[in-house]
Chains A and B, each alone.
Chain A
Amino acid sequence: MTSYLPPSDRIWWKVPVGREEVVWIALALTWCLIMFLMMPYWHIYGKQNLSNEAYQTTPAKFGSRVEDMIKAHKVSEEKGIPVVHPPAGSDVYMLGRLWQWWPILELEKDKSYRLHLSSMDWQHGFSIQPINVNLQVIPGYEMVITVTPDKAGEYGVVCNEYCGIGHHTMLGKIYVKE
């Protein structure tokens, strides 16, 4: 009878379905399949993908690799934070901790780098602005993702995973040079 009474037709599953519903289901299902296929398609032909490369690590282990990179390639310092210019194509590291992204990276335009990210303590959100690329940073896990900056300039690294009272002061930098 109505939606809140038992179906008047006891064998409701045999009542034929209206045409607009059939057409709509066909359209919607087609669209759903297209949306699904877009994801594998982009993995093959797209240029922005997640890497699938990650390792379990510890704060101590990851921290010492970051310090090694800083020792080898530090070029200057800004407000007490080292600025590092690693060779193009190399492995570069950034760690998140309460409440700092460490160190500042200097990259070259149109060169690829293997960027390693991890956290020393709580979860953080690695958010490169203004291009708005966002990655989750989790203690105990090291994510490796290849980045190829295509525009020179100054980029902010905002923390966008809530990490306590100083969360809003957790700001890092990446410079991309011509």
Chain B
Amino acid sequence: MSLFRTCPDSGFYFHKSAESLMKANAVAAAVSLLVAGVLALGVVLTRWQEVHLLDASTFYMVLTAHGINALIFWIIFFEIAILYFASSTLLRCRLAAPRWAWTAFILMLVGAIMNNVAVFQGNSSVMMTSYVPMQAEPHFYLGLILFAVGALIGIFVFFGTLVIAKDENTYEGSVPLVTFGGVTAAIIAVFTIAGGAIILVPTFLWSVGYISHIDAQMYRVVWWVLGHSSQQVNVATHVAVWYLIAGVVFGARPMSEKVSRAAYLLYIFFLQLACAHHILVDPGISSEWKVFNTSYAMYLAVLASMIHGLTVPGAIEVAQREKGYTKGLFEWLRKAPWGNPVFSGMFISLVTFGFIGGITGVVMGTEQINLIIHNTIYVPAHFHATVVTGTTMAFMSLTYLLIPALFRRKVFMPTMAKLQPFVFGGGMVIMILFLLGAGTMGVSRRHWDMDFTGALLNFEYAGIAYTMVAIGSIGGVLAIVGGAMYLLVTVGSLLFGEKLEPSAGFLQSFGKPLDASCYRSGDAGRALAAPKPVEEHGSAGFEAPGTFALALLLLVTFIVYYFINWKYLASVWQLG
């Protein structure tokens, strides 16, 4: 008989072992974010040419560690916690094989530490992409491989839990949309890790001398199978988090289950192996393949994101209108709980992901336009809009929900929590916009010195490029302050937040269960809300005009910006 509790405030079901695992993974994620954030300070204060804090070799080491800790460790630890939540909690089911889940956690932890050790020893400043033939120490690759194996086990625990839930009939009908999003993410993650194994295992063997040569072009093609699909895992997951938050905060239901689920399926079918947009200006790859692979002839993955971009706020709008916020196009949005960081963070995530991350991504992923963007600082600016203001902010919002529900603590320093999404999101948006600008001026990414000190020849960037990098860096510092606020609130809550239920003490926040009296055994109390009769939901014409107007604004912005870039491309040297 498995032990579980139901959170008296949120009604969420927590299987005891799953609960501990979610906590452990979430805490490991937060620690990774802390490391990444401290390193981010070194990165921006060095890129800011007037400050130029670190020397070159430290900068490249710090940048390598920043990318890996943020993009890989923070995000994936958190995603594993979300997968356990989406399966065990939402389906009210015991977690499959908790021992395996702990093995997964420990492998991931060991891998993350090993990789960090390698980077900070100083001989593995190869950036997270570790392009061959530049070589890192063997334990750099081995750490990543162990981490990936751990993550894969975690994913199988997720699938196992789905099977158990189905077998034990813990839910009726289909899995919830949020869980469906988790399934999408998990399926793509399996492909990702397979791609990762195909490239990282040989690279590891090469670093210890068992393989003499790895083709640099082949490496890039296969590495980006991993690199690209992992980003799709992030998108699928943070979209699921958006739906979850819309449901929790507003009681919103999907406008149409059919449309939202179909959009998720498009992710599965059209993202796989779509790595070409990272290698558009590489030799040895034909234009036909690039054009086809980036778009699959109709950009159906982009279409899917555009659909979610409508249906998530649309669901919120419908729920708000049902509550009586019906004035004009936007009363539902004005009267939304902007003081609640769960909502504000999620909404900033949604808007910045769509308007900045999405649009810039598609534009620079266009075969010919990539010529004027590839490897400039435009690229990190773009993905900070997807993976930072998009994914990271969605996960931060979810944390504010989990502090009371999962950790059973009150949020510590609620005012700081209230401001946090605006400081973090605001700072990040400033950084992103100005670095996008600097990128169009030709400032390169992963570059220590805009002045090219020590170069034999000389080249000078326009003065405005320096200004843009400087303002962008100030935005970056502000974002780091916002990140620190997040960690202060979360760590503060876990350590000092008021306990909402009898606790097992200090370690409760790090994986130890609550006091034994909080748990019950068996299946009692698991019953789900009985399904209501058919709702003709969605068939009533225009239910979300405000959202539709926002979507049109997005489309117009998209079209204008897209053609501006073609026009700019048309002004450079003829190439062919």
Residues of A in contact with B (beta carbons under 8 Å apart): 1-10, 12-13, 15-21, 23-25, 27-29, 31-33, 35-36, 38-40, 42-43, 46-52, 54, 56, 78-81, 100, 104, 112, 117, 121-123, 125, 127-136, 138-143, 145-150, 156, 158-173
Contacts and interface: CB of A to CB of B under 8 A. Distances in A.
10 contacts: A21-B538, A32-B300, A48-B575, A51-B575, A129-B461, A134-B376, A138-B220, A160-B445, A170-B455, A173-B459
A54 B134 CA distance: 22
B541 A49 contact: no
Interface stretch (B228-236, B302-310, B426-434): B302-310
Chain B interface residue number, banded:
35 or more
A135 B295 CA distance: 21
B247 A125 contact: no
Contacts of B303: 25, 28-29, 32
Given A4-B90, A156-B459, A138 B284 contact: yes
Contact of B447 (A42, A138, A167, A172): A167
A46 B217 CA distance: 27
A62 B457 CA distance: 23
Given A17-B258, A20-B542, A141 B284 contact: yes
Contacts of A5: 90, 176, 247, 528-529
Contacts of B212: none
Contact of B576 (A1, A134, A146, A150): A146
A151 B258 CA distance: 55
A160 to B, nearest CB: 3
Contacts of B285: 54
Contacts of B172: 6, 10
Given A20-B544, A169-B453, A136 B298 contact: no
Contact of B573 (A7, A148, A169): A148
A69 B543 CA distance: 69
B328 interface: no
Interface of B: 56-57, 60, 90, 127, 131, 133-134, 171-179, 215-217, 220, 243-244, 246-248, 251-259, 279-287, 290-291, 294-295, 297-300, 302-303, 306-307, 310-311, 314-315, 362, 366-368, 370-376, 440-442, 444-449, 452-459, 461-462, 528-529, 531-532, 534-545, 547-548, 551, 555, 558-559, 562, 566, 569-570, 572-576
Contacts of B371: 48, 50, 133-135
A2 B367 CA distance: 40
The 8 closest A-B pairs by CB, nearest first: A156-B459, A160-B444, A143-B283, A54-B283, A2-B247, A3-B247, A32-B299, A12-B257
A132 B539 contact: no
Contacts of A16: 536, 538-539
B256 A20 contact: no
A42 B531 contact: no
B255 A33 contact: no
Contacts of A3: 176-178, 243-244, 246-247, 252-254, 315
Contacts of A121: 133
Contacts of B302: 32, 35
Contacts of A112: 574
B277 to A, nearest CB: 11
B444 to A, nearest CB: 3
Contact of A18 (B255, B456, B531): B255
Given A15-B536, A81-B456, A138-B217, 17 more contacts: A2-B253, A6-B172, A7-B177, A10-B531, A15-B258, A35-B295, A35-B562, A36-B299, A42-B367, A49-B576, A52-B286, A81-B457, A130-B441, A134-B376, A136-B282, A150-B574, A173-B459
B456 A171 contact: yes
Contacts of A81: 456-457
Contacts of A10: 172-174, 531
B535 A8 contact: yes
Nearest to B554: A28
Nearest to B291: A39
Contact of A15 (B256, B297, B370): B256
Nearest to A46: B368
Contacts of A39: 291, 294-295, 366-368
Residue from A80, A122, A132 with most neighbouring chain B CB atoms (10 Å): A132
